[in-house]
Chains A and B, each alone.
Chain A
Amino acid sequence: MDAIVIDKLSKTHRPAWPWQQAVTTLHEVSLSVGYGEIFGFLGPNGAGKTTTMKIVLGLMRATTGTVELLGRPALDVDVHKSIGYLPESPYFYDYLTAEEFLWFYGRLGQVNPSDLQQRIPTLLAQVGLTEARYRPLRKFSKGMLQRIGLAQALIHDPQLVMLDEPMSGLDPVGRKDVRDIILGLRDQGKTIFFSTHIISDVEMICDRVGILAKGRMVTVGSMDELVNRNVAQSVEVICEGIDGESIPLVKEVAMRVLQRGNRCWMALPGQQRLEEVLAAVRQAGGRLVSIIPHKGSLEEIFLERTSQRT
């Protein structure tokens, strides 16, 4: 059993007036997230990431399809006791102080007052807001709001944490802090589902990744699988003392050849014919300067997959 099971989720927004067209923002999205995983939900702006998360949390109703959280149907609000959620660019009650704010969300999450009393200072320290404990949220900066939002999502010690663009609007230090918190949560055995359109966040910490584009799931898989299976790796070869264009094999195999004086730069599509090419170069009297293998990045997959749909 997985922590999140999304099965063929579709969302068609009913138009306000009969003459308007219905807009479908999700097309049979399916994915599952195992217990203890960090799942990165990737997609360009407007792909439907937030919509999916809202349906998972019961903020929106799906047109068709089902969602199960922690083995129970997502429509049962009791399951929310074990779920923490940080929405995208969150706004909070700015008339509350940090402590009151966490107290309120803790009570809503059915945490007893005595537990809350202990948990609030710990959590504030964890997100780096100990100083701001008695300050009203009105006086918080954007980064501080993001941090207190994260604290709010964790106040009831949830099993599953859903974070919508948790790193947006943060400076590099803030991003690192959030990353550390997420990794720390995984160490405690929590499941983390977060969405982002920034690839480096995902590459560094995710166990598994799903890519959404135009309301459709493009790819789901572990980082290793995705990167190795899906990306044609390229190899850069630089030689001296030859004219690359004059060697027939190079002309046939290389994707690009650049000649500068007697130095030749070529890009090969993979390692399969590397030895052949090197042999041909040596035969022509060339000297090898360097070989640089390029491992495909998530970014390339992302760009490739999302652009296929446009």
Chain B
Amino acid sequence: MHSLLVVAQNTFRETLRDKILYNLVFFALLLIGASVLLGTLTIGEQARVVNDVGLAAINLVGVIIAIFVGIGLVTKEIDRRTIYTILARPITRTQFVMGKYCGLIFIGGLNISIMFSMFLVTVWLSGSTIQGSLFQAVELMLVEVLVMTAIAMFFSTFSSPTLSAIMTLGFYVIGHLTGDLKRIAEKSKDPIAEGITTALYYICPNLELFNIKGQAASGIVVSVDYQLATTFYGLLYAALLLVAACRIFERRDF
């Protein structure tokens, strides 16, 4: 546990020094721009627009950072051979992978928290009420970031950075489409298409579950059951990927 925390801490520091959190400046500008500019364009809908833009930007920035930093961190260690000196220490490979993951989700969580705080301030300043549904939406975004980070880590334990990025992005897209694909295939009555989409539906992460931005921006609250079940689903999925990632990493030669 000790070694894991040391790695996590170093990962956190690495990401900070890579100036990843500069995205927050971009995010702040976007928020202010959206609320001031779009607010005046669409009279009466300002609250909606600020909510929409804010939530979408938090989600997008969170996921992009999860994917690219997640892939970079492990592959960079291997490419630059820093991993040699790390693994020559009294640390198991599982501890190393988990340490990297923890450091990364800490950065992701911090990033989302800061963005969300900025967002809430903007909402408050623009004079609209802060709805509880916004917290729900952000909580599920956090879960999505956990899953995406785990996917990125999983791929980067055995393939090149470019391939990992492509695969992770592919998972992201498929993860948001499986539900639709399955429903379409069900209507097509083609047993092969149905089989494939059903398999995809259950194997790929169903990321659309975490997407409640639309309702949340309009202040519609989802049930606690849904919130809990979805969160649990995300955590389990991330756990599955991490177990596999550790297993692959354990058997790898460097």
Contact = CB atoms under 8 A, between A and B. Distances in A.
Direct contact, A vs B (beta carbon within 8 Å): yes
Interface of A: 13, 54, 57-61, 77-81, 83-87, 90-93, 95-96, 100, 104-105, 107-110, 149, 152-153, 162
Interface stretch (B10-18, B37-45, B230-238): B10-18
Interface of B: 2-3, 6-7, 10, 13-14, 17-18, 80-92, 251, 253-254
Given A87-B81, A91-B82, A108-B3, A60 B89 contact: no
Contacts of A60: 253-254
**Residue with the greatest number of chain B CB neighbours at <10 A, chosen from A81, A90, A91, A162:** A91
Given A61-B251, A61-B253, A80-B89, 13 more contacts: A57-B87, A59-B254, A81-B90, A85-B85, A86-B85, A91-B82, A93-B14, A95-B14, A96-B13, A108-B3, A108-B6, A108-B91, A110-B3
A86 B254 CA distance: 15
Contacts of A109: 89-90
B254 A110 contact: no
Contacts of A79: 90
Given A61-B251, A92-B82, A93-B82, A107 B87 contact: no
Contacts of B85: 85-87, 90, 92, 105, 149, 152-153
B82 A54 contact: no
The A interface is mostly helix, strand or loop, or mixed, namely mixed
Contacts of A83: 88
Given A60-B254, A61-B251, A93-B14, A110 B90 contact: yes
Contacts of B17: 95
Contacts of A57: 84, 87-88
A77 B92 contact: yes
**Residue with the greatest number of chain A CB neighbours at <10 A, chosen from B3, B80, B83, B88:** B88
Contacts of A108: 3, 6-7, 86, 89-91
B91 A77 contact: yes
Nearest to A104: B10
Nearest to A57: B88
A80 B90 CA distance: 5
Contact of B87 (A58, A95, A96): A58
B86 to A, nearest CB: 7
B193 to A, nearest CB: 31
Contacts of A87: 81, 84-85
A78 B91 CA distance: 8
Nearest to B89: A108
**Residue with the greatest number of chain B CB neighbours at <10 A, chosen from A59, A92, A107:** A59
Nearest to A60: B253
Contacts of B253: 13, 54, 59-61
Nearest to A95: B17
Contacts of A96: 13
Given A80-B89, A95-B18, A109-B90, A90 B6 contact: no
18 contacts: A54-B253, A54-B254, A57-B84, A57-B87, A58-B88, A59-B88, A60-B254, A61-B251, A81-B90, A84-B88, A85-B84, A87-B81, A87-B84, A90-B85, A92-B82, A95-B18, A105-B85, A149-B85
A91 B18 CA distance: 17
Contacts of B10: 93, 104
B18 A59 contact: no
A54 B252 CA distance: 12
Given A91-B82, A93-B14, A107-B6, A80 B251 contact: no
A57 B88 CA distance: 6
B2 A110 contact: yes
A77 B6 CA distance: 16
Nearest to B3: A108
A59 B87 contact: yes
A85 B14 contact: no
A149 B18 CA distance: 22
A78 B83 CA distance: 17
**Residue with the greatest number of chain B CB neighbours at <10 A, chosen from A60, A77, A83, A92:** A77
Contacts of B91: 77, 80, 108
Given A60-B254, A108-B6, A85 B88 contact: yes
Contacts of A81: 90
A77 B18 contact: no
Nearest to B83: A59
B98 to A, nearest CB: 14
Contacts of A80: 88-91
Contacts of A13: 253
Nearest to B84: A87
Nearest to B10: A104
